[in-house]
């Protein structure tokens, strides 16, 4: 009881978790959508694992605190990548995040994940998958191929044209 009360206060002070009017992708459906958006075969399983650990494939997933927050299916941070200045400026004077993806954070929580994926690729190009803590903790050094096995078997995604052996030769993040 005490614990619950303390926890409730912490949530109130530090932030709110918003999960509303979501499109929740099925795992294989999400993988197919990423293929459509041009994801590389040798990175697909890592993207899928990341989205599962970050948001459970929920497009509206958000973790927003007073100072900063993450937005959408890939949990993109407004500290650098998307613009939440309008709402933040009301609380913090002269707040100005770089908004590297040149996108409004609000656009990252709708059902269209094309802009999310474009921004996620920018993050990947800058930092690799290690930019995402859930990936580092729950996907890196795990056999992420299992996230796609049934999708391939059931022909829910296009066949992948690389082998796991090649994957093993890649450094973390799948960068050549
Ligand atoms: C995803 O759903 C599972 C099962 O309900 C839950 O244990 C896990 O914490 C969720 N993960 C995220 C990132 O929401």
User: What is the per-residue pLDDT for 14?
Assistant: 45
**Residues 6+ positions from 99 with CB-CB distance below 8 Å:** 80, 81, 82, 83, 85
- Give residue 106's Cα distance to chain centre: 14
Q: Is the minimum distance from the CB of 138 to ligand 1 under 6 angstroms?
A: no
Residue with tokens 């796609």: 148
CA dist., res. 86 & res. 73, Å (int): 22
Residue 131: pLDDT over 90: yes
Give the distance (Å) from ligand 1 centre to CA of residue 52. Answer: 8
Query: Which atom from ligand 1 is nearest to the alpha carbon of 58?
Result: 14
Give the distance (Å) from ligand 1 centre to CA of residue 56. Answer: 6
Q: Is the minimum distance from the CB of 22 to ligand 1 under 6 angstroms?
A: no
User: What is the per-residue pLDDT for 84?
Assistant: 86
pTM for this prediction = 0.79
41 is written with which tokens? 């075969």
Q: Which residue has the higher pLDDT, 22 or 118?
A: 118
User: What is the per-residue pLDDT for 48?
Assistant: 98
Q: What are the pLDDT digits (tens) for 12-34?
A: 444 445 444 579 999 999 999 99
Share of the chain above pLDDT 90, in %: 67
What DSSP letter does each residue of the chain carry, written as one string? Answer: -HHHHHHHHHHHHHEEEE--S--B--HHHHHHHHHHTT--HHHHHHHHHHHHHHHTTBTT-EEEESS-EEETTTTEETTTTSB-HHHHHTTSTT-----TT--BGGGGGSS--HHHHHHHHHHHHHH-GGG-HHHHHHTTTS-TTHHHHHHHHTT-SPPP-S-HHHHHHSPTT---
29 is written with which tokens? 């459906």
Q: Is the minimum distance from the CB of 24 to ligand 1 under 6 angstroms?
A: no
User: What is the per-residue pLDDT for 87?
Assistant: 65
User: What is the per-residue pLDDT for 89?
Assistant: 63
Provide CATH code, domain 24-160.
Answer: 1.10.530.10
Residue 9: pLDDT over 60: no
Give the distance (Å) from ligand 1 centre to CA of residue 74. Answer: 14
Q: Is the minimum distance from the CB of 56 to ligand 1 under 6 angstroms?
A: yes
Are the CB atoms for 79 and 97 separated by under 8 Å? yes
Residue 39: pLDDT over 50: yes
Average pLDDT over residues 159-171: 65
Give the distance (Å) from ligand 1 centre to CA of residue 92. Answer: 32
Give the distance (Å) from ligand 1 centre to CA of residue 87. Answer: 28
User: What is the per-residue pLDDT for 164?
Assistant: 59
Q: What are the pLDDT digits (tens) for 56-110?
A: 999 999 998 877 899 999 999 999 999 987 766 666 666 678 899 999 999 999 9
Candidate from 21-25, 55-59, 144-148, 162-166 with smallest mean pLDDT: 162-166
């Amino acid at each position: 009881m005490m614990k619950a009360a303390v926890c409730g206060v912490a949530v109130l002070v530090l932030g709110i978790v918003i999960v509303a009017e979501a499109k929740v992708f099925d795992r294989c459906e999400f993988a197919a959508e990423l293929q459509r958006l041009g994801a590389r075969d040798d990175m697909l399983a890592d993207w899928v694992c990341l989205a599962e650990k970050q948001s459970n494939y929920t497009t509206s997933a958000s973790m927003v605190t007073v100072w900063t927050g993450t937005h959408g299916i890939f949990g993109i941070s407004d500290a650098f990548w998307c613009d939440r200045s309008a709402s933040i400026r009301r609380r913090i004077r002269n707040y100005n995040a770089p908004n590297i993806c040149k996108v409004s954070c609000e656009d990252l929580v709708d059902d269209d994940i094309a802009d999310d994926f474009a921004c996620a690729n920018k993050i990947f190009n800058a930092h690799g998958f290690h930019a995402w803590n859930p990936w580092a903790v729950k996907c890196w050094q795990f056999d992420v191929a299992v996230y796609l096995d049934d999708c391939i078997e059931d022909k829910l995604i296009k066949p992948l044209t690389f082998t796991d052996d090649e994957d093993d030769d890649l450094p973390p993040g799948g960068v050549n």
